Amino acid sequence: MEIILSKDHLAHFPAGEIYDGKLVRPFECPERWDYIVNTLNDEGFLNQSKPSDLDVKKLFAVHEKKYVDFLKTCWDQWISSGYTGEAIPTIFPVRGFHQDRIPDDIDGKLGYYALAAETSITAGTWQAAQAAAAIAQTSQQRISNGASEIFALCRPPGHHASYDQFGGYCFINNAAVAAQHMRDRGLERIAVLDVDFHHGNGTQAIFYNRSDVLFLSLHGDPMAAFPHFLGHKDEIGIGDGEGFNFNFPMPAGTSFSEWSNALDSAVHQISKFGAEAVIVSLGVDTFERDPISFFKLKSDDFIKMGECIASLDLPTLFVMEGGYAVEEIGINTVNVLTGFEDAKV
């Protein structure tokens, strides 16, 4: 399996996020990448390549141009306004406020384009975000050119980023970028399977009215877990997309036996859909010791996850999402890839 990765992720290294009523060191940090790469190397996944340059214009099929321009220029606007800390949103267009007017002031712009206050923008955020998107673009090109499996080691992650919003550590929706490029290159039906602990609200929103991209998400019940306001079972798509969105919310303490039943159901829906390729939003924060999640999957369970995904017998692009800085993030990520590869032999 080829791995597409870039050290440009190091440019994004915020010093703090708001958690537990305190400013803490972010859970989404560069060590996540290090743990994964070290385990990839230890286990012989040595076919590693850098991405091609990003075609920024192709982002506009899944992200508003004004939003992408905001990400490019946010830090410069922040600094030119006299601020010295990280760019953190503090006010939002909530109920009763205008949601159709973008403020000129950078404080207002941050709130307009943000979905939450835990994600900050720094001097290197755009560099890292565009590198992650380039990884997704390059990886889908490999699949479109005939590769059967690719791992896109994206950091920062992407599945919480919607058409015009960042948050949940995400800026560009890497899985959506890849799915749209596959469509542009001639594939008719793409499935996006999100196995991250947190609901992929951004990916759902981008494809919610479309029937050519099937979205399925297995995640913590939003009544108790971020992002709280999307991810319910009754969200099935609208318009042409009705019936092409499947959510599998699950409660605290969910074990692999319960979780795998949902995965089996998702795999059945992908087969029924007739997908020509599957993109796996690979979050491993379902792990029992992940610091900001509440499922109970063990490291060996991730091997079985990979085996089940392999049963689809489809070209498969794994796109890295969440799973936070515990050493097992590397073990669990590589276990998915190993289970997948071994099942394909």
Q: pLDDT by residue (tens digit) across 129-142?
A: 999 999 999 999 99
| Architecture of domain 2-62+124-344 in this structure | 3-Layer(aba) Sandwich (3.40)
3-state SS class at 32:
helix
Q: Is the pLDDT of residue 169 over 90?
A: yes
Q: Determine how β-strand 190-194 pairs with β-strand 149-152.
A: unpaired
Residue 23: pLDDT above 90? Answer: no
Query: Is 9 noted as a catalytic residue in this protein?
Result: no
Among 77, 67, 45, which residue's Cα sits nearest to residue 153? 45
The radius of gyration of the chain's CA atoms, rounded to the nearest angstrom, is 19
Look at the pTM and tell me if it is higher than 0.85.
yes
Give the pLDDT confidence of 51-66 residue by residue, as tens digits: 999 999 999 999 999 9
| Gap between the Cα atoms of 216 and 219, Å rounded | 10
Amino acid letter at 208? Y
Amino acid 292: pLDDT: 94
**Closest CA relative to residue 122, chosen from 153, 165, 82, 76:** 76
Residues 6+ apart with CB under 8 A from 315: 143, 147, 148, 149, 276, 277, 278
Percent of the chain residues past pLDDT 90, beyond the cut: 96
| Cα gap 318→82, rounded to integer Å | 41
Q: Residue length, the chain?
A: 345
- Let me know: does 314 contact 240? Beta carbons within 8 Å: no
* Domain ranges for the chain: 2-62+124-344
Which of 160, 198, 199, 219 is catalytic? The answer is: 160
Per-residue pLDDT at 345: 75
| pLDDT number for residue 170 | 98
Average pLDDT, the chain: 97
